[in-house]
Amino acid sequence: MPCPFCNPAPEDIVVANDLCYARYDIHPVSPGHLLVIPFRHVASYFDTTDKERMALARLIDDCKATTDQKLHPDGYNIGVNVGEVAGQNVMHVHAHFIPRYRADTGQAGGGVRCVIPHRPG
């Protein structure tokens, strides 16, 4: 099965730089949920080059600028799942850029510390 993140269609690219691109997640957690993806096929964040990691970070900043202008979220979650046990479903590294809105949960708190069910934050 071909990698769904390799060879993106130009119309799917929201923002990009020389080494990475961002596209909307097809199963968004919230409006504006983007995936930030290196063009080079590499499975793990830990196998990316220094240049790719810097390009990912710069593109996350660009995603924020674009999202702030369009959607005005109240916060963000940014995360990378590495390995199947951590929830990585596509073995092409990608960072989740998830805008958060006050109405998301009905309560404050949570965040990435609460990704494991039944564990205190």
Active site residues: 94
Instruction: Count CA within 13 A, CB hemisphere, residue 88.
Output: 18
Q: Which residues pair with 98 in a beta bridge?
A: 77
**What is the rounded distance in angstroms from the CA atom of residue 63 to the CA atom of residue 16?**
9
Rounded CA separation 68/97 (Å): 12
Asked if 77 and 110 touch (Cβ cutoff 8 Å), the reply is no
What letter does residue 90 receive in the DSSP assignment? S
Q: What token pair was written down for 92?
A: 């092409």
Q: Which pair of tokens denotes residue 21?
A: 């691109």
